[in-house]
C-alpha cells in the first residue's frame, strides 16, 4: 500500500460530502430511516434506500408514503432529485455512506435482540469497498459497534480507520412532533478511530445543523441509552405517584400541573397506561443486560421498568372496578379503547400499551373494539394482530358500549361528545380534569 493512500481515501470521502457529490445509502426505511432519507435528499444528495420489505420499496418508488406524518409529496420530491429504493443489498457498494436504521427489539426473555443489525451487516459488508463510511443509528448497548460490526468488516479484508470508516450516531426522532425535524436535532457521533470520527462528522455535518462529537462509539451508544432511560425512570416515578395519589383520592394531574409552576428544579412528566414506542420501553433493558456482564445490578432502572410494565394491568383493574360499581363484570362487557397508537397524534403502534390492554381485556372475556383516526385498520405486527377496524365515534356508537377506555389522547377526538354520550369512561391520560360523574381517572 502506497504511503498516504489511507489519508487520500479519507480526504476524497470528506470532500464528496462537503461538495454534495456523495451518494448516501439509508438501510431501513421506517420511522427513523425515512425522515433521514428526506433530509439528505433535501440537502442535495443522491440517496439509495435499502429495505427488506418489497411492499415498502414499491410504494416509495411510486412516490407514496406509508407513514402518516410524512407526506407523499415529500417522497415524490425526493424521487425527482434521484432517490430510489431497493431490496437489492448487493448494491451496497454504490453509496459512499451506509447508515443503518433497523429495529433493536427485545427477545422473549427481555434481552437484546441484535438479529436485525447483524443480518443487515451480513448483507451489506460483503459488498463494501474502500472509501465508504458505515454508521449505525439503531439504539443498542455500549460496545455493539466495535464488538459486532468492526470484526465483520475487517473479516472482509478492509481496514477500519484506513480504507473504510465506522461510526455510531444514535437516532433522535420524535415521530409526529413538528417542532423538531431531523435537520435541526443535534447529532451525536462517535468513531472507532479519529479518522472514522472525521468521516462521520463530514457525513452528518453536510445534512444536519450541529454534530456533537464524542470520543468513542461506546460513549455515543451510552449517551442514547441515558437519554431514553432518563425518560423511562421519570415516567416510572410519575406512574408510581399516580398509584399513590389514587389511593389517597388526590388528582395526580392537578398535582403535576401545580408542581410545574415552580420555575426551577422541576420538569413535569406525566403518567399513562404504560410505555410505548420503540425506544423508552426497550432501551433500559439493553443497559441492564450489558451491566450484568460487569457484575452490576441496575436496581433503579429495573424498578422503573417494572412499574411501567405493570401499568396496563393496573389500568385493567381500574376498568374492572369501574364496571363493578355499575353492577357489571368485565366478562361480557362491550369496551371501546380510544387510541391504539403509542402516543398522541401519530399512527405509530410500536410497543403501544393499548395492545396489551386489548389482550388482557379479551382474555377476561370482554368484547373489545377500538377507535383511532390515525389507525383505520389494525395492522399486521410481528407479535400481535387483531381483526379489527377503527370504530367511528358517533353518539349512537359511543352509547352502545359499556365503557370507553381512553388510552391515547388524540387531538382529533371530540371529548365533549364522548363524555356526553358515554355510559362510563376510564381516562388514563388526564383529559378530563374536572370531576365528572361518568369519568374514572386512571
Q: How far is CA 324 from its chain centroid?
A: 37
Which cell numbers hold the place of 122? 451480513
Nearest to 242 by CA among 270, 276, 281, 280: 270
Residue 326 annotated among the catalytic residues of the structure: no
Residues 6+ apart with CB under 8 A from 8: none
CB count, 10 Å around CB of 259? 12
What is each CA distance from 290 to 117, 146, 218, in whole angstroms?
17, 14, 12
> What is the rounded CA–CA span in Å between residue 239 and residue 247?
13
Note the residue count of the chain: 442
Only one residue has cell 435482540, namely 113
Q: From its phi and psi, is residue 95 left (phi > 0), alpha (psi between -120 and 50) or beta? A: beta
Helix, coil or strand: residue 214: strand
CB count, 10 Å around CB of 107? 10
Strands 334-338 and 367-371: parallel
CB of 269 closer than 8 Å to CB of 327: no
Choose the catalytic residue: 101, 189, 196, 279. 279
CB of 109 closer than 8 Å to CB of 75: no
Residue 370 per-residue DSSP state = E
> What is the rounded CA–CA span in Å between residue 73 and residue 63?
7
Residue 298 per-residue DSSP state = -
Residues 6+ apart with CB under 8 A from 382: 105
User: Which residues participate in catalysis according to the annotation?
Assistant: 279
Amino acid at each position: 500500500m502506497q504511503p498516504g493512500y489511507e489519508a487520500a481515501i479519507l480526504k476524497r470521502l470528506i470532500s464528496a460530502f462537503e461538495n454534495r457529490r456523495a451518494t448516501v445509502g439509508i438501510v431501513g426505511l421506517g420511522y427513523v430511516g425515512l425522515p433521514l432519507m428526506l433530509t439528505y435528499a433535501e440537502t442535495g444528495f443522491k440517496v439509495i434506500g435499502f429495505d427488506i420489505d418489497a411492499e415498502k420499496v414499491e410504494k416509495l418508488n411510486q412516490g407514496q408514503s406509508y407513514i402518516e406524518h410524512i407526506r407523499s409529496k415529500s417522497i415524490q420530491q425526493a424521487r425527482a432529485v434521484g432517490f430510489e429504493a431497493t431490496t437489492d443489498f448487493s448494491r451496497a457498494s454504490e453509496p459512499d455512506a451506509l447508515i443503518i436504521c433497523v429495529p433493536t427489539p427485545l427477545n422473549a426473555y427481555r434481552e437484546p435482540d441484535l438479529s436485525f443489525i447483524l443480518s443487515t451487516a451480513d448483507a451489506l459488508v460483503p459488498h463494501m469497498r474502500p472509501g465508504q463510511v458505515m454508521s449505525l443509528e439503531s439504539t443498542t448497548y455500549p460496545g455493539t459497534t466495535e464488538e459486532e460490526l468492526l470484526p465483520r468488516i475487517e473479516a472482509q479484508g478492509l481496514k477500519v480507520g484506513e480504507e473504510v470508516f465506522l461510526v455510531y450516531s444514535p437516532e433522535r426522532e420524535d415521530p409526529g412532533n413538528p417542532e423538531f425535524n431531523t435537520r435541526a436535532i443535534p447529532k451525536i457521533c462517535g468513531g472507532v478511530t479519529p479518522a472514522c470520527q472525521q468521516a462521520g462528522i463530514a457525513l452528518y455535518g453536510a445534512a444536519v445543523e450541529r454534530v456533537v462529537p464524542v470520543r468513542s462509539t461506546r460513549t455515543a451508544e451510552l449517551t442514547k441509552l441515558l437519554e431514553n432511560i432518563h425518560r423511562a425512570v421519570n415516567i416510572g416515578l410519575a406512574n408510581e405517584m399516580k398509584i399513590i395519589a389514587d389511593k389517597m383520592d388526590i388528582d395526580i394531574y392537578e398535582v403535576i400541573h401545580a408542581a410545574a409552576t415552580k420555575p426551577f428544579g422541576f420538569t413535569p412528566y406525566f403518567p399513562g397506561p404504560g410505555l410505548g414506542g420503540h425506544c423508552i420501553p426497550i432501551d433500559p433493558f439493553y443497559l441492564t443486560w450489558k451491566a450484568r456482564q460487569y457484575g452490576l445490578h441496575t436496581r433503579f432502572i429495573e424498578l422503573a421498568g417494572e412499574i411501567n410494565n405493570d401499568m396496563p394491568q393496573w389500568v385493567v383493574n381500574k376498568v374492572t372496578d369501574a364496571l363493578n360499581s355499575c353492577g357489571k363484570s368485565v366478562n361480557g362487557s362491550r369496551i371501546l379503547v380510544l387510541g391504539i397508537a403509542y402516543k398522541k397524534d401519530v399512527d405509530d403502534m410500536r410497543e403501544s400499551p393499548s395492545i396489551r390492554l386489548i389482550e388482557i381485556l379479551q382474555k377476561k372475556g370482554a368484547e373489545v373494539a377500538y377507535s383511532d383516526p390515525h389507525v383505520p385498520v389494525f395492522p399486521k405486527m410481528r407479535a400481535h394482530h387483531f381483526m379489527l377496524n377503527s370504530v367511528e365515534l358517533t353518539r349512537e356508537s359511543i352509547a352502545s358500549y359499556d365503557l370507553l377506555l381512553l388510552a391515547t389522547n388524540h387531538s382529533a377526538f371530540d371529548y365533549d361528545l364522548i363524555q356526553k354520550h358515554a355510559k362510563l369512561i376510564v381516562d388514563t391520560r388526564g383529559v378530563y380534569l374536572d370531576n365528572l360523574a361518568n369519568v374514572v381517572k386512571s
